Structure 1
Amino acid sequence: MPEGAEPRRLLLLRHGQTAWNLERRIQGQTDVPLDDTGIEQAEAVAPVIAAMHPAFVRSSDLARARTTAEKVADAAGVDVKTDPRLREFDLGERAGLTHGEYASVNADEFAAFRAGRYEAAPGAESREQVEARFVPALEDALADLAPGELGVVVAHGAALKVALVAWLGWAPEAVLSLQALGNCHWVLVEAAGLDEVDQTSRGRRLVGYNRHA
């Protein structure tokens, strides 16, 4: 990118609602589809994002993200490329439980889970494991943008928050200060021109958080 070039931007979109979201049931990588409300949310956000003229749409390969991405891509006139690195945390043996059921199984473990220590669940991915796959996917998406272009990445709430904090170079505990992303809400990050890059954020700047149509 030449010095002084327009920033490249990535819009990170959480998928629409599923029945399990509504039931406060732990999804992880269980492939749960959007419910009717989730489809309506995706259809509502699609023209808003399409009006930003995205160069591409990337998505987790799980159905709830992929369907959301397809709505956005159809409105924008681009294709969807799926990437399994953008999946939600694998939440191991606790996937499928409601929050109430999880608390009944193991209250201390559930408290750790609610505090963002997802690896407390037996068989779950750690924060470091999710960062190791998700952040390179963001870097690859950013690298495919020309100066001034916008790319869209559709994924999942917990993984997006953790990866965002790591990508911006923040301390891991900063994730606790971020509000949970709503369904079909998005984050906007820009990568500054080379003359503006600093060593802390590597030129990544948080422009907007938890925005919605």
Structure 2
Amino acid sequence: MNGTPFRGRRIVFWRHGQTAWNLEGRFQGSTDIPLTEDGLAQARRSARLLAALRPDSLVSSDLQRTAATAAALAAVTGLEVTHDSGLRETYAGVWQGLTNTEIQERYPEEYRLWRLGEPVRRGGGELNTEVADRAVPVVLDAVKALPDNGTVVVVSHGGTIRMAIGRLLGLDPYHWEALAGLSNCCWSVLGEGARGWRLQEHNAGTLPEPVLGDDV
């Protein structure tokens, strides 16, 4: 052994910046909403931090809020962005555009079951497992193209990121909600371990710190 610790490949899931519908508490789903000026500033700030990770590739949902966020990182790294509709947020049918209060008032039973973790087609849209079915292959294809110890930044949406992380960690879908949501322009990091993926950072807004101690 040469004493160099195994790091493996790394996936950085990065949520898009702020939108007007985020501020209004509206369920966006796959509706194509742009970033606010604050959202663009968030993307530029986070991009400067993430560039220090020296990512090897950059893939993004094709919706404009994620595309604009990814463009900020591309500008400081020189990476090309690969856009893929498989990374879009959950399609939520008639729930899209409604506030949380409006959803509870109009669809109380559907909302109740969803909060209990039951498989629900919110608004007549996609199941959580169907979102993972389309998003995770995009992520794994990007991982396969990485060099040893390489890093891919995946720019996506809060719900899609949660479902992708849950699937990659091998969690039962019922437990995916145990993963808290991401703030705008924050990220989560999965690292490749000897027995699969490990969650190294979650909802971070600063660069990952090395783990010091016995849990390596």
The equivalent residue for 2:91 is 90
Cα distance, 1:62 vs structure 2: 0.4
The equivalent residue for 2:178 is 177
CA RMSD of aligned residues (A): 1.6
Q: Is the 8 A contact 2:118 2:174 kept in 1?
A: no
Cα distance, 1:122 vs structure 2: 3.2
TM-score (norm 2): 0.88
The equivalent residue for 1:160 is 161
The equivalent residue for 2:100 is 99
Aligned partner of residue 188 in structure 1, secondary structure: strand
Query: Match of 2:103, as an amino acid?
Result: Y
Structure 2 CA distance for aligned equivalents of residues 51 and 122 of structure 1: 40
Structure 1 CA distance for aligned equivalents of residues 92 and 49 of structure 2: 32
Cα distance, 1:160 vs structure 2: 0.7
* Alignment equivalent of 2:200, drawn from 183, 195, 207: 207
Task: Tell me the number of residue pairs that the alignment of Structure 1 and Structure 2 aligns.
Answer: 202
The equivalent residue for 2:32 is 31
Cα distance, 1:95 vs structure 2: 0.5
The equivalent residue for 2:60 is 59
Query: Match of 2:25, as an amino acid?
Result: R
Structure 2 CA distance for aligned equivalents of residues 92 and 122 of structure 1: 4
Cα distance, 1:210 vs structure 2: 0.7
User: Any gaps of 5 or more consecutive residues in structure 1?
Assistant: none
Q: Is the 8 A contact 2:88 2:160 kept in 1?
A: yes
User: Any gaps of 5 or more consecutive residues in structure 2?
Assistant: 207-216
Query: Match of 1:209, as an amino acid?
Result: H
Structure 2 CA distance for aligned equivalents of residues 129 and 104 of structure 1: 26
Query: Structure 1 residues 118, 95: closer, same or farther in 2, change over 3 A?
Result: farther
Structure 2 CA distance for aligned equivalents of residues 121 and 189 of structure 1: 28
Q: Is the 8 A contact 1:56 1:73 kept in 2?
A: no
Moved more, 6-15 or 59-68: 6-15
Query: Match of 1:31, as an amino acid?
Result: D
Cα distance, 1:5 vs structure 2: 6.0
Query: Match of 1:43, as an amino acid?
Result: R
